[in-house]
Structure 1
Amino acid sequence: MTADFSFEDGGYLIEVYASEVLPGQWKVHSVFQRLSDLDDEQGIATAIRHESDVIFESMPHAMLAGREQAKQLVRQGSVGL
C-alpha cells in the first residue's frame, strides 16, 4: 500500500510518498521539482528524490513527517537542485 500528496513551497513542486515496507512500518520519500522548470516550454524538468531513514508506525505519521522534512529541506536550501 502507498499514499501520496503534492504541494508547492519555496518555488518547488514537492510530492511526498509513503509506502508500507512491512505491516505497520512505513517509509517516506519526497520528490522535488522547480516550478520554473515545469513552466519551461521544452517540457523537461529535473527532479531529485530524498528518502527518510526513519520507519513510522502509521501512514498518517509518515505523511506528516514527510511534509515537514520536505519543508525543512527547502528552508535550509538543501534540496539539491
Structure 2
Amino acid sequence: MNPVGPSGNKSSAWFNADNLFTGVIMAFMLVILAVFLLYPVVDICRLSFFKDGGFTLQNYVDYFSEPRIFRSFYNSM
C-alpha cells in the first residue's frame, strides 16, 4: 500500500481540468474587478491632481479650506 497513490506523482494533481478551469475563472474575475473597480478609483485620483492641463494641488487646497469639511468630519466621529 502506497499512501501517495498508484502513480506516486503528486504534481500531476495540480494540473488537471478542474484546477485549470478554476484558474481561468479567477483570472477573469480579477480582470473584471480591475476594470470596473480599480481603474475608476485610480483615474479619479489621477484627475484630482490636474486642472486646466497642468499638475496642481489647488483642488486639495480648495477642498480642505472649507470649514464645512472639518465640521462634517467632526460630526461623523
TM-score computed with the length of structure 2 as normaliser? 0.27
Higher helix share: 2
TM-score computed with the length of structure 1 as normaliser? 0.26
The answer to which structure, 1 or 2, has the higher relative contact order (CA under 8 A, 6+ apart) is: 1
Higher strand share: 1
Q: From the CA coordinates, give the structure whose radius of gyration is larger.
A: 2
